[in-house]
């Protein structure tokens, strides 16, 4: 690096014809202002100490003086020519006089202490030079991947040190964290195995512990284990460096392992945006859009990134998704896209899905999040029949129940089967509803509110899901519009507690809630809980649409639900419907008919859409008699090509498909697909958690933190609140 002074200091930093003035301190600048000031401060202090006159100010104070002087010069330089009047001329003259004055950095201490302080400062300068030389050689060798020749101490010019002996000075570039060698610092304490444990460091991050809180925790553990804290190399700064190093190392391992193991796996890319506070607070910017991007596949659930984007438009979304895919080198494995269905994602001209397909240069399948499209039905019904949602909450009625819940008698409720207005309908459907609910309750649930909903349905039908224990109700979940099934959960609870007089509600609202609950438990619940099974998606949507059209209990419910759902027939598109060939619930005769329809040419009118669009001259009643074969045509062959599934099994009888190798390979690929965007929702929750209480403000470190924490969550096998030490062995 070029010397920072114009002749006043030589390469050794200790000789010169005169003391450095302010003019020398504003010499060549090849760094940022703070780095430049730091470099000059080190050289100045070494110059003054080597002259043997007097000890100097602390390096932090020197840097502060240099930056203040530089700001004064910048202020003069930025004055516009039209405003350079007499005052400006006077200030410039004063500055020119000041610039030739010796930069005084000597500290005022008693004469008796000067000799000792001079020795300490000289020793400190030597250690700094040796440390910088060692790290410079080490980094140069790592960059060139070759051994570096020995560099003499006096031949090394002043460098910006990544670490120094002033613990209260925060270097502007904290990226370099190489510690000094034993020879540089003499004997060092024994490294603490507690403070360097990768598992401990990652769980400290997971708990959101700040550096000092984490240090106090580790120190308390050492103290409780009767280990001398003073003999351990464990300070809050050491612990901070260990955490940053571990994140970087683990993130690098995750990337390398992903690239090594992806092979020919079929991957689906997921994304979902969220508006959050900026990672680095900026004046005038209150929120920023972040886009978690993830991929899923056989035994794969990997976060690729969650960076900020300018907006949620299709252009910016596609750019970030493609950037993540290319960075992780998995473009060849991507066969499908999965997201929510706003126009920015699904627009057939400039939507993100179309742009991603064009950027990757190959056809892709598009799977609209099934939970998202199915959740639109209760949302539409609730908004039009009960009350309009007030973003971000689902309504004042639900908020009222949540507030009154602690003061209610939870044992006083009336099941829906005891409601005279519902008794007849529920008695006719009781067996089928309870059979499916009990079967669903025994399966593992991703989210607690899904399980809570099943329990409420069973209670609503007059049974106890907690046998042999008594019935108990979980507190109402958050009233956020983003919570799936929140509206149905609140409708069931309001219905049962209003009948017993625990919760007051108007008769008109109770009547509409009663109508919604009958539709939910009889028609809607089964499609929701089977939404994650890819192969049955087309058949499920077709049956649900028919059931909605044929729902005679309340024509208003049928009309609203069908109007909402007819715009989201994504899995009845001629390409996506190909997934139904692997639905074992479809009869052999229907599969034969589907195979025969593969030779039918596709319609041209709606070729751009990624979903089935009902022709304008037809209404929904025209779908009553349709089967899946009516949605299959020549276009469906694209599904097999995109998924790389051989079609030779289609020449055999459907009863023999199960023994065909191509069918088995296709079934394996289909079962590995994720047709819901819950994985992206979990990515959003992870980002939100560490944005609200950030452990770092540096974007690169923040991305590494997210990668490590996502990997930690995927590795945790215990799903209960009861933890034992054996789980961590």
pLDDT per residue over 16-40, tens digit each? 455 666 555 555 444 566 677 777 7
Q: pTM higher than 0.85, yes or no? A: no
Neighbours of 477 (CB within 10 A): 18
Specify the pLDDT at position 25: 58
- Going by C-beta distance under 8 Å and a sequence separation of 6 or more, which residues neighbour residue 49? 55, 56, 118, 121, 122, 125
The dihedrals phi and psi of 302, each to the nearest 5 degrees, come to: -115, 130
Give residue-wise pLDDT tens across range 143-163.
455 454 444 433 333 333 333
CA distance 92 to 73: 9
d(CA 38, CA 578): 65
Length of the chain: 729
pLDDT at 373 over 90: yes
Residue range 599-633, pLDDT digits in tens:
999 887 656 668 888 876 677 878 888 999 999 99
Tokens of residue 231, six digits = 């003999």
pLDDT at 152: 42
CA–CA gap between residue 474 and residue 484 (Å, rounded)? 16
Is the pLDDT at 176 greater than 50, yes or no?
no
Residue of 487, 481, 502 lying closest to 405 (CA atoms): 502
Give phi and psi for 468, each to the nearest 5: -85, 5
Q: Are 244 and 701 in contact (CB under 8 A)?
A: yes
Average pLDDT taken over every residue of the chain:
81
Say if residues 521 and 461 touch (Cβ distance below 8 Å). Answer: yes
Q: Which residue has the tokens 């215990």?
A: 718
CB count, 10 Å around CB of 92? 14
CB of 392 closer than 8 Å to CB of 274: no
Least confident residue range of 67-81, 127-141, 667-681, 703-717: 127-141
Assign 83 a pLDDT band (cuts: 50, 70, 90).
confident
Separation of alpha carbons 494 and 506, rounded Å: 11
CA dist 335 and 367 (Å) reads 11
Which residues, at least 6 apart from 332, have a Cβ–Cβ distance to it below 8 Å?
A: none
- pLDDT, tens digit (0-9, with 9 covering 90-100), for 469-484: 888 888 887 777 767 7
Which token pair is 445? 């649930």
Q: Is the backbone peptide bond immediately before 468 cis, with ω within 30 degrees of 0?
A: yes
Percent over 90 (pLDDT), the chain: 47
Contacts of 402 (CB under 8 A, 6+ apart): 476, 479
Residue 56, φ and ψ in degrees, nearest 5: -110, 175
Decide if pLDDT at 100 tops 50: yes
- 576 close to 534: Cβ distance less than 8 angstroms: no
User: Does 435 score more than 90 pLDDT?
Assistant: yes
């Amino acid at each position: 690096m070029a010397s920072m002074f114009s002749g006043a200091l030589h390469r050794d930093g200790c000789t010169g014809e005169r003391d450095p003035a302010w003019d020398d301190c504003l010499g060549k600048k090849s760094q940022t202002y703070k780095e430049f000031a730091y470099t000059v401060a080190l050289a100045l202090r070494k110059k003054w100490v080597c002259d043997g006159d007097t000890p100097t100010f602390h390096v932090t104070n020197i840097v502060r003086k240099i930056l203040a002087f530089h700001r004064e010069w910048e202020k003069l330089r930025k004055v516009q020519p039209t405003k350079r009047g007499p005052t400006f001329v006077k200030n410039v003259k004063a500055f020119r006089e000041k610039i030739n004055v010796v930069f005084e950095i000597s500290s005022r201490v008693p004469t008796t202490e000067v000799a000792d302080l001079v020795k300490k400062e000289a020793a400190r300068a030597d250690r700094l030079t040796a440390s910088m030389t060692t790290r410079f050689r080490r980094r140069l060798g790592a960059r060139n991947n070759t051994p570096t020749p020995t560099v003499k101490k006096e031949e090394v010019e002043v460098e910006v040190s990544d670490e120094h002996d002033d613990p209260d000075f925060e270097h502007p570039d904290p990226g370099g964290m190489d510690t000094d060698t034993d020879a540089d610092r003499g004997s060092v304490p024994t490294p603490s195995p507690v403070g360097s444990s990768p598992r401990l460091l990652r769980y400290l991050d997971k708990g959101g512990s700040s550096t000092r809180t984490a240090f106090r925790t580790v120190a308390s553990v050492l103290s409780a284990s009767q280990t001398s804290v003073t003999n351990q190399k464990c300070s809050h700064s050491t612990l901070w460096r260990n955490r940053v190093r571990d994140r970087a190392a683990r993130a690098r391992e995750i990337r390398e392992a992903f690239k090594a193991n992806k092979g020919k796996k079929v991957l689906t890319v997921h994304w979902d945006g969220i508006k959050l506070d900026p990672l680095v607070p900026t004046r005038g910017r209150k929120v920023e859009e972040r886009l978690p991007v993830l991929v899923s596949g056989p035994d794969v659930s990997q976060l690729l990134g969650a960076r900020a984007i300018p907006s949620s438009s299709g252009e910016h979304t596609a750019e970030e998704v493609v950037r993540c895919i290319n960075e992780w080198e998995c473009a060849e494995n991507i066969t499908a896209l999965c997201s929510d269905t706003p126009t920015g994602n699904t627009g057939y001209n400039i939507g993100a899905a179309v742009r991603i397909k064009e950027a990757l240069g190959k056809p892709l399948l598009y799977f609209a999040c099934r939970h998202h499209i199915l959740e639109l039905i209760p949302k539409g019904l609730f908004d039009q029949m009960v009350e309009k949602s007030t973003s971000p909450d689902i309504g004042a009625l639900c908020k009222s129940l949540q507030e009154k819940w602690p003061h209610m008698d939870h044992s006083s409720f009336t099941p829906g089967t005891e409601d005279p207005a519902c008794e007849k309908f529920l008695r006719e459907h009781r067996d089928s509803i309870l059979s499916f609910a009990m079967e669903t309750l025994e399966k593992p649930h991703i989210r607690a509110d899904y399980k809570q909903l099943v329990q409420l349905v069973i209670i609503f039908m007059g049974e106890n899901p907690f046998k042999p224990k008594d019935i108990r109700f979980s507190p109402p979940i958050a009233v956020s519009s983003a919570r799936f099934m929140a509206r149905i959960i609140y409708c069931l609870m309001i219905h049962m507690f209003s009948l017993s007089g625990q919760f007051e509600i108007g008769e008109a609202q109770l009547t509409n809630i009663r109508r919604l609950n009958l539709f939910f438990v009889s028609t809607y619940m089964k499609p929701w809980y089977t939404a994650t099974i890819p192969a049955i998606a087309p058949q499920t949507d077709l049956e649900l649409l028919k059931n909605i059209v044929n729902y005679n209990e309340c024509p208003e419910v049928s009309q609203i639900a069908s109007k909402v759902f007819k715009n989201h027939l994504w899995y009845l598109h001629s390409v996506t419907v190909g997934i139904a060939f692997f639905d074992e619930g479809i009869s052999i005769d229907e599969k034969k008919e589907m195979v025969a329809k593969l030779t039918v040419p596709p319609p041209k009118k709606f070729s751009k859409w990624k979903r089935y669009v009902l022709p304008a001259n037809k209404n929904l009643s025209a779908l009553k008699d349709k089967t899946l074969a009516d949605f299959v045509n020549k276009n469906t062959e694209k599904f097999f090509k995109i998924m790389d599934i051989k079609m030779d099994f289609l020449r055999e009888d459907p009863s023999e498909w199960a023994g065909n190798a191509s069918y088995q390979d296709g079934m394996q690929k289909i079962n590995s697909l994720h047709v819901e965007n819950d994985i992206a929702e979990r990515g959003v929750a992870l980002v939100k958690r560490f944005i609200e209480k950030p452990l770092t403000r540096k974007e690169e470190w923040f991305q590494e933190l997210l990668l490590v924490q996502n990997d930690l969550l995927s590795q945790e096998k215990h799903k209960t609140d009861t933890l034992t030490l054996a789980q961590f062995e």
